[in-house]
Each structure stands twice: as C-alpha cells, then as structure tokens.
Chains A and B, each alone.
Chain A
Amino acid sequence: GENVEQHPSTLSVQEGDSAVIKCTYSDSASNYFPWYKQELGKGPQLIIDIRSNVGEKKDQRIAVTLNKTAKHFSLHITETQPEDSAVYFCAASIRNDYKLSFGAGTTVTVRA
C-alpha cells in the first residue's frame, strides 16, 4: 500500500516568516495530494489539494508543489500568522480509490 512520509515533525517559525513542510510518497499510481490542518480538539480540515496533472497550486498565503518524478510534494505557507499554528497532515491517494494515506503530521508553531 501507499506509504507517506512527512518532515519535519515540528516546525517553529517567527510570525511573518515562511513555513515549508515536505512529504514523499511511495506509490507512483497516486495522483491526488491533499493537505489538512488540524487544530486542537478538532478534526482535520482540508486546506488545499493538488492533482498529478498540476505542478503547483496557490490559494492566498498557501501553496502546494508536486514533483511526480521524485514522488514528493510540499506545502508552503507565507507570511505566517498566529492562527496558522496547528498540526498539518499531507496525504496521498489514487483518485476514485477513496483511500487516503496520511503522513504523521507536522506541528507548526508561529511565534509572535
């Protein structure tokens, strides 16, 4: 099955700086890569996703890049704010397979 690895496990950044989280996946058939944000006591919430026919996608301060050849994808958060503090999960799946494999998560702390 799919194996998703995520790094780093923790990330502390100064408010206003950028944060980058990287993930690798094992199954070359995977073609859908979402990112979820989980705040304390809540369930994961989808923040952005990308499909394998696209190399980069941006939504305001967040962006995701995908390198299919190397089988890795990254989340970029620019101009970080205190409300960006949370646990972020990457995931991968084969479209229409309905089975998301999640990374272990990255705890992001934005220092004021």
Chain B
Amino acid sequence: EAGVVQSPRYKIIEKKQPVAFWCNPISGHNTLYWYRQNLGQGPELLIRYENEEAVDDSQLPKDRFSAERLKGVDSTLKIQPAELGDSAVYLCASSLRGTGGEKLFFGSGTQLSVL
C-alpha cells in the first residue's frame, strides 16, 4: 500500500513569491492534515480536513496561506506571498475516520527555503 505522497521534496524561492505544495493521502483515509515543522521543533497543525471540508483551520495564517482539498482526496497548500519566516518543512498526514484520528501517517514533507 502506498503511503502519503508529497511533492515537491524541496523548494527554494525568493521572498514575496508564491509557492504550492501537493499531497496525496493514503487511499481511503478521509482525514487529511497539514503540519509545519520548524527546524528543531515538533510538527504544528495548520489545518485539518474531513473529506473536502476544512474542520479546523484555526492555526492557519489566513492572510497568506490557503488550502484546498478538492473531491476529498488530494490537497494543495499555498503560500502567497512567502516570507523569510515561512522556511520550514511542510508535512501532510492522513488518518482513517473511526480510529479517533489518532494514528497519523505522515508523508516525507516538502522542505521550503525562502531567500
């Protein structure tokens, strides 16, 4: 069974440029998460989807970040415009509803560097 797939693996951009990350969750997992992991820190939740609905986006900086999950499968996270402080690893995770959302399966992440 394929795991959570993310692309790209690395992205280097200049500040004020836009950037987008893509995630394909494990087949059948209806809950999808975007986390941000700063260097030397644990992951922090940005947004959680149940199917195509964003049910928790309280930690998403909505002035520059946006996300979507069309058809309740793949998801895209966008930053526009990027700032120096956005440099981090962006992790996507999925879980299966009915398990309490507990067992998260993470992708390998997208490492973003903003210059």
A interface vs B, CB < 8 Å? Answer: 4, 6, 32, 34, 36, 41-46, 49, 89, 91, 93, 95-100, 102-105
Contact = CB atoms under 8 A, between A and B. Distances in A.
Contacts of B18: none
Which of B41, B42, B44, B104 is the most central at the interface, judged by chain A CB atoms within 10 Å of its CB? B42
A33 B43 CA distance: 15
A97 B45 CA distance: 13
A43 B91 contact: yes
Contact of B40 (A42, A49, A91, A104): A104
Given A95-B100, A96-B100, A98-B101, A45 B42 contact: no
A105 B40 contact: yes
Nearest to A49: B102
Interface residues of B, number: 23
Contact of B101 (A41, A44, A96, A103): A96
B69 interface: no
Contacts of B45: 99-100
Q: Interface of chain B, helix or strand or loop or mixed?
A: loop
A98 B56 contact: yes
Contacts of A91: 42
A102 B43 contact: yes
Given A6-B42, A100-B104, A102-B43, 5 more contacts: A42-B108, A43-B108, A89-B42, A89-B43, A98-B31
Contacts of A96: 100-101
B4 A43 contact: yes
B108 A103 contact: no
B107 to A, nearest CB: 5
B56 A99 contact: yes
A75 B41 CA distance: 18
Interface string B19-44: 00000000000010000000011111
A18 to B, nearest CB: 23
16 contacts: A32-B102, A41-B108, A44-B91, A44-B106, A49-B103, A89-B42, A95-B100, A98-B48, A98-B56, A98-B100, A98-B101, A99-B45, A99-B48, A102-B44, A103-B42, A104-B42
